[in-house]
Every structure is written in structure tokens, then in C-alpha cells.
């Protein structure tokens, strides 16, 4: 596998919650060592398997607000009521200083804002679930949410789907193995101009 590249580009993976973007993002980060993850800041509670500083920077609402006031974010959103998420400027600097390309896993409004800021440096991919019913089923079965949180997430999905045509590409996540291959194709093409298997 080709692993060298001089970095400086961005990939945004965005989707309604539950469309499988985290699975796709994790796969790409494992596959290509020229990619690194943009760790977001959030005020939501840490889940059991999560690590502070790796999955998110977990901040109190006060800490988050202080950083907003200090103009430390590229973008931030109140994704769910009283749950804030945002991309720190220092995170983009951190990854680019290592010479890698950045991978974002963020919701649609933040994705639109980053795409507007970085333009052609940035490839923004909308991951589309095969259907709304399947999405709701996936969200329900992963059991990471309380009932109230699940309801909030489902309510948001319809609105998020309306953004699908605002991005550079749409990736349908029906069969995961196919979606992973398509995601690899998109990464290789944006980084190197063509996928590896077309190289002479
Ligand atoms: P979760 O709580 O499931 O980890 O994430 C909830 C939603 O917030 C997901 O759609 C996730 O991609 C999004 N998100 C994570 N980090 C950021 C961020 O830095 N900015 C924005 N706008 N959304 C984010």
C-alpha cells in the first residue's frame, strides 16, 4: 500500500447520525497512515469505550464557552439541545504540522462551514443510509443512547438528509464492504489524482 503523501488536504465525512460514517472513518484511518483524525471538542457525556483526547476532547459547558469566546474554534454547533460540538483551530494545525491529511467526522452544518472555508483543499463526502427506516433501526440497535436522546437524534435525521446535495460526493452505505472500497477510491483519487490500481 502506498503510504507517503505530503499532506495538507482534508476529508470531511458527514451524514445523518447512524449512517455509518464513524465505521468508514475508522477503516480509512487504519488503512492509510497519511491520514489523521480531527479530534473534536464536545460537552456531551463520555461513553464507556471512549478516551478523552482520542475520541473527543470532553469539555464542560463552561470550558467550551470560554473557548468560543476566545475564538478558538473553526466551527461549532449545538448539535443536540445543550450538547455542543466543535473543531478547534489547534486541531487542524496539529495534523497539518505532522504532514498528514485531516479526516473529519462531523454533522452536516459544521461540514458545510468547513467546506466553505477550505474549498478545493477539502473533499466533502455525504454518507447516505440506504433508507430512513434502516437508519432508525441502526440508531436503535446500537444502544448507546437513552430513549430521549434517541428521539432527538431521529428528529434531526430528516433535516440532515436535505443537505445531501451540498457536498462533493455522495457515498451510499448499503453494503458496508462496498462502501469501504468506494471510500478508499475517493481518498486515493483526491490525494494522488487516481486510485492505486490505475498506477503504471
Ligand atoms: P456523537 O455524539 O454520536 O459522537 O456525535 C454526534 C454528531 O456530532 C455526529 O454527527 C458527529 O459527526 C458530530 N460532530 C462530532 N464532532 C463535531 C464537530 O467538531 N463539529 C460538528 N459540527 N459536529 C461534530
Question: Are the C-beta atoms of 199 and 40 separated by less than 8 Å?
Answer: no
Predicted TM-score (pTM) of this structure: 0.90
Could you list the beta-strand ranges (E) of the chain. Answer: 10-14, 35-37, 40-42, 56-58, 73-80, 83-88, 101-105, 122-128, 169-172
Asked if residue 200 is part of any domain, the answer here is no
Domain carrying residue 131: 10-192
Q: Residue 56: give its domain's CATH number.
A: 3.40.50.300
- What total number of domains does the chain contain? 1
Confidence of residue 6 (pLDDT cuts 50, 70, 90): low
pLDDT digits 0-9 by tens, 105-154:
999 999 999 999 999 999 999 999 888 888 888 778 877 778 888 888 78
Confidence of residue 99 (pLDDT cuts 50, 70, 90): very high
Q: State what percent of residues in the chain have pLDDT above 70.
A: 96
- List ligand 1's pocket residues with C-beta within 6 A: 17, 40, 44, 75, 77, 79, 85-87, 105-107, 109-110
Q: Give the pLDDT mean for 94-109.
A: 96
User: Which residue of 82, 85, 86, 116 sits with most ligand 1 atoms within 8 Å of its CB, as the best mutation to test the pocket?
Assistant: 85
- Output the CA 85–ligand 1 centroid distance in Å: 6
Asked if residue 125 is part of any domain, the answer here is yes
| Biggest alpha carbon–alpha carbon distance for the chain | 55
Amino acid at each position: 500500500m502506498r503510504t507517503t503523501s505530503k499532506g495538507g488536504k482534508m476529508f470531511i465525512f458527514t451524514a445523518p447520525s447512524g449512517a455509518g460514517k464513524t465505521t468508514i472513518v475508522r477503516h480509512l484511518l487504519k488503512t492509510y497512515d497519511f491520514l489523521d483524525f480531527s479530534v473534536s471538542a464536545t460537552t456531551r457525556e463520555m461513553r464507556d469505550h471512549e478516551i478523552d483526547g482520542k475520541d473527543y476532547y470532553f469539555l464542560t459547558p463552561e470550558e467550551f464557552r470560554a473557548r468560543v469566546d476566545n475564538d478558538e474554534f473553526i466551527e461549532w454547533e449545538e448539535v443536540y439541545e445543550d450538547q455542543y460540538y466543535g473543531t478547534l483551530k489547534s486541531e487542524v494545525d496539529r495534523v497539518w504540522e505532522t504532514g498528514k491529511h485531516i479526516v473529519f467526522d462531523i454533522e452536516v452544518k459544521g461540514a458545510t462551514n468547513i467546506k466553505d472555508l477550505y474549498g478545493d483543499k477539502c473533499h466533502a463526502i455525504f454518507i447516505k443510509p440506504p433508507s430512513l427506516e434502516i437508519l432508525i433501526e441502526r440508531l436503535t440497535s446500537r444502544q448507546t443512547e437513552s430513549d430521549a436522546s434517541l428521539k432527538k437524534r431521529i428528529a434531526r435525521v430528516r433535516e440532515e438528509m436535505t443537505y445531501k446535495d451540498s457536498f462533493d460526493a455522495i457515498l451510499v452505505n448499503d453494503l458496508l464492504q462496498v462502501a469501504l472500497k468506494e471510500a478508499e477510491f475517493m481518498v486515493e483519487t483526491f490525494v494522488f489524482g487516481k486510485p492505486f490500481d490505475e498506477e503504471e
